[in-house]
């Protein structure tokens, strides 16, 4: 669901008039929802704390929201922007106190919304009234100034929700106060924003989140013979970033399923995961396999071997106990079987093809 946010009601008025199915939510009166249109609207209030709290509450009440579009007015920090220009935000910074040159370190990059718009950085100011000198300091960080966007972006980012921001310039550089909606211009700004929105938003921009499963994830998680644990599903996400499902892989996987003795889905999944792991980290996988079959398997009740799990060194660690001469003989004969030279050259990459 797309949530439109405005700092003040006058900025939202044209939207509330147009989207008649938007209904105020009983738990947050400034939140309007239209489930049929998959659309929400929030009057967040001014100030970054207020806007952050307001959006956090809206996201808790309405978990379907997956895209936040902040709309409203902004002041210009550069001369080339004029009242009435529609622009979009690129990155949002928080200006804490211009006189003391205090900025909040954290910033939030925004998702581009419309390729036809010029994009600029936004400074959300903690203070409303700024001198020209204050504005000049903030202009080192951005070209637009507002009162709410940083708080919204923080709330959205905490929930991993994408946000964009489209602004209409309400004040030019030389005006002392900014983002002041005067009655006469409010209606016009709101209508202009609505016209922009209707022209540039296709409904698919805010459809329900579709499953972002890769082909490999989809294939394995819906395979009737397999059962994936949560850990395996997470691993699969990681593997999918590098491994793409191919015809050859499907054939290999089906072959493994046919060849394996066990019919238990868990065993089958384990074998498939070994196969994928080999594709994902072939060097580490093969080192592990060599270590397992040639070294670790020599462990017995008197001596246990272990290897560097990262295979960064070829050192072979062991621990054991000797209570009799027989133990000593067993340990000595086991140690002589260790393929030390071979292991060293394997770890050094000498045998790698």
Partner 1 sequence: MEMILFKKVFIEKNIVNVETTKNIVSRLPKKSRENIVYIDSYQDIFGKVKKPYLQKRDNLNLFIAEKKGVLVKEAPEAYGLSGEKHFYFINSYNCIYECEYCYLQGFFNSPDIVVFTNWDEIKKEIKSVAKKYPGSWFHAGEFSDSLALSHLTGELGHYFKLFKELPEAKLELRTKSINIREALEIDPLNNVIFSFSVSTEDACKNIDLKTPPLKHRLKAIKELQDRGHQVGLHLDPIIWSPNWSEEHTHLVEKLSREISLDKVSYISLGVVRFTETVYHQFKKNYPASSIHQGELTKSFDQKIRYPRALRNKMLSFVRESLIFREVKKELIYDCME
Question: Given candidates 50, 56, 107, 187, which one binds partner 1 under the rule CB under 8 A?
Answer: 107
Residue 2 bridge partners (DSSP)? 39, 67
Which residues make beta-bridge pairs with 305? 318
Site string for partner 1, 78-97 (x = CB under 8 A): ------------xx-x----
Structure tokens at 307: 């290897």
**Residue 350 CB, nearest approach to partner 1 (Å):** 8
In the complex, what is the shortest distance from the CB of residue 7 to partner 1, in angstroms, rounded to a whole number?
22
Taking the complex as a whole, how short is the minimal distance between the CB of residue 15 and partner 1, in angstroms? Answer: 30
What the block records as the tokens of 306 is: 């272990």
Nearer to partner 1, 188 or 241 (CB): 241
Q: What angle do CA 212, 216, 217 make, to 5 degrees?
A: 50
Query: CB-based burial of residue 213 (10 Å sphere; 0-12 exposed, 13-18 middle, 19+ buried)?
Result: middle
Is the sign of the CA dihedral 109, 92, 111, 43 positive or negative?
Answer: positive
Contacts (CB under 8 A) with partner 1, residues 284-343 = 284, 287, 310-313
Using CB under 8 A as the binding rule, whether residue 347 contacts partner 1 is answered as: yes
195 forms part of the interface with partner 1 (CB under 8 A): no
**Candidates 14-22, 151-159, 268-276, 278-286; binding stretch for partner 1 (CB under 8 A):** 278-286
Between 41 and 163, CB nearer to partner 1 = 163
With binding defined as CB under 8 A, does residue 112 bind partner 1? no
d(CA 272, CA 250): 11
Rounded to the nearest 5 degrees, what angle is found at the Cα of 252, between the Cα atoms of 246 and 257?
130
Question: Would you report the helix, strand and coil content of the chain in percent, each value rounded to 5?
Answer: 40, 25, 35
Handedness of CA 174, 176, 180, 182 (dihedral sign): negative
**Residue 101 makes contact with partner 1 by CB under 8 A:** yes
User: How many angstroms separate the CA atoms of 139 and 137, rounded?
Assistant: 5
The smaller minimum CB distance to partner 1, of residues 189 and 290, is found at 290
Report residue 249 as tokens: 């892989």
- Residue pair 73/170 in contact (Cβ under 8 Å)? The answer is yes
Q: Is 224 in the site for partner 1 (CB under 8 A)?
A: no
Nearer to partner 1, 201 or 281 (CB): 281
* Residue whose CB is less far from partner 1, 185 or 284: 284
- 97 pairs with which residues across the strands? 102
In the complex, least distance from residue 105 CB atom to partner 1, rounded to whole angstroms? 6
Distance separating alpha carbons of residues 145 and 276, to the nearest angstrom: 50
Q: Which stretch binds partner 1 (CB under 8 A): 135-143, 193-201, 206-214, 252-260?
A: 135-143
Q: Considering Cα of 4, then 7, then 11, then 13, what sign does the dihedral take?
A: positive
- How many Å separate Cα 22 from the centre of its chain? 29
Q: How far is the CB of 114 from partner 1 (least distance, A)?
A: 17
Answer whether 179's CB lies under 8 Å from 75's CB.
yes
Residue placing its CB nearer to partner 1 in the complex, 116 or 313: 313
**100 interacts with partner 1 by CB under 8 A:** no
Minimum distance from CB of 91 to partner 1 (Å)? 6
Least CB distance to partner 1 at residue 101 (A): 5
Of 186 and 236, the one with the shorter C-beta distance to partner 1 is: 236
Q: 138 CB contacts (<8 Å, ≥6 apart)?
A: 77, 95, 98, 123, 125, 130, 145
| Residue 346: both structure tokens together | 């394997």
| Minimum CB distance to partner 1 smaller for 182 or for 353 | 353
Q: Count residues contacting partner 1 (CB under 8 A)? A: 32
Distance of closest approach, residue 103 Cβ to partner 1, in angstroms: 5
**Residues that bind partner 1 in the complex, under the rule CB under 8 A:** 90-91, 93, 101, 103-107, 109, 121, 137, 140-141, 241-242, 280-284, 287, 310-313, 346-350, 352
């Amino acid at each position: 669901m797309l949530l439109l946010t405005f700092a003040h009601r006058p900025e939202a008025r044209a939207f509330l008039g147009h989207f008649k199915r938007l209904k105020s939510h009983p738990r947050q009166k400034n939140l309007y929802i239209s489930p049929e249109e998959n659309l929400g609207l929030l009057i967040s209030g001014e100030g970054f704390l207020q806007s952050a709290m307001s959006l956090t509450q809206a996201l808790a009440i309405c978990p379907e929201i997956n895209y936040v579009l902040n709309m409203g007015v902004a002041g210009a920090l550069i001369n080339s922007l004029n009242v009435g220009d529609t622009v979009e935000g690129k990155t949002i910074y928080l200006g804490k106190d211009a006189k003391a040159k205090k900025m909040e370190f954290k910033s939030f990059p925004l998702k581009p919304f419309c390729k036809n718009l010029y994009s600029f950085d936004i400074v959300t100011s903690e203070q409303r009234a700024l001198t020209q000198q204050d504005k000049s300091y903030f202009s080192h960080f951005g070209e637009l100034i507002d009162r709410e966007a940083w708080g919204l972006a923080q709330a959205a980012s905490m929930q991993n929700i994408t946000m964009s921001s489209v602004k209409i310039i309400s004040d030019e550089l030389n005006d002392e106060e900014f983002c002041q909606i005067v009655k006469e211009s409010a209606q016009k700004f709101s209508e202009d924003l609505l016209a922009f929105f209707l022209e540039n938003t296709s409904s698919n921009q805010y459809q329900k989140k579709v499953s972002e499963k890769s082909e490999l994830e989809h294939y394995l998680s819906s395979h009737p013979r397999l059962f994936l644990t949560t850990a395996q599903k997470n691993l699969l996400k990681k593997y999918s970033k590098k491994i793409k499902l191919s015809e050859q892989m499907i054939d290999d996987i089906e072959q493994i399923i046919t060849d394996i003795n066990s019919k238990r889905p868990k065993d089958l999944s384990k074998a498939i995961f070994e196969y994928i792991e080999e594709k994902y980290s072939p060097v580490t996988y093969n080192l592990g396999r060599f270590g397992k079959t040639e070294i670790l398997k020599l462990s017995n009740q008197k001596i246990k071997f272990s290897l560097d799990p990262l295979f960064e060194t070829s050192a072979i660690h062991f621990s054991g106990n000797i209570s009799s001469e027989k133990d000593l003989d067993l340990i000595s004969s086991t140690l002589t079987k260790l393929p030390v030279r071979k292991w060293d050259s394997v770890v050094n990459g000498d045998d790698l093809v």
